[in-house]
Amino acid sequence: MYVLTLENHHDGVYSLFDADKDRVIPIFQLEDDANRYLTMLEDISDYPSMRVVEMEDHAIIDACQQRGQKFSIITPDDFIIPPDDLE
């Protein structure tokens, strides 16, 4: 599994807001999909430098569940784009 982190802050992972204004961590099954999403983020001006990090699936999912953090598994059949209203 793959997540995005800030280039200089590896302890936190990228998240976005859902319709209820809750933070959700996208967890990509494929590195190519994570890199594609990262490329779209990089096209947004003034967005901080990020990188793709590989993690064991159980490690990231367990960490999210223990913290009550919402997450979404992005499968090869899914296609997501960064929201228009990034904050």
Domain ranges of the chain: 2-74
What is the chain's length? Answer: 87
Per the structure block, which two tokens stand in for 44? 């947004």
Half-sphere exposure at residue 18, Cβ-oriented, CA atoms within 13 angstroms: 10
Model pLDDT for residues 2-26, shown as the tens digit of each residue: 999 988 776 789 998 888 999 999 9
20: three-class secondary structure by DSSP: coil
Q: What is the pTM (predicted TM-score) of this model?
A: 0.88
Q: What is the pLDDT of residue 45?
A: 66
User: Which segments of the chain have a pLDDT < 50?
Assistant: none
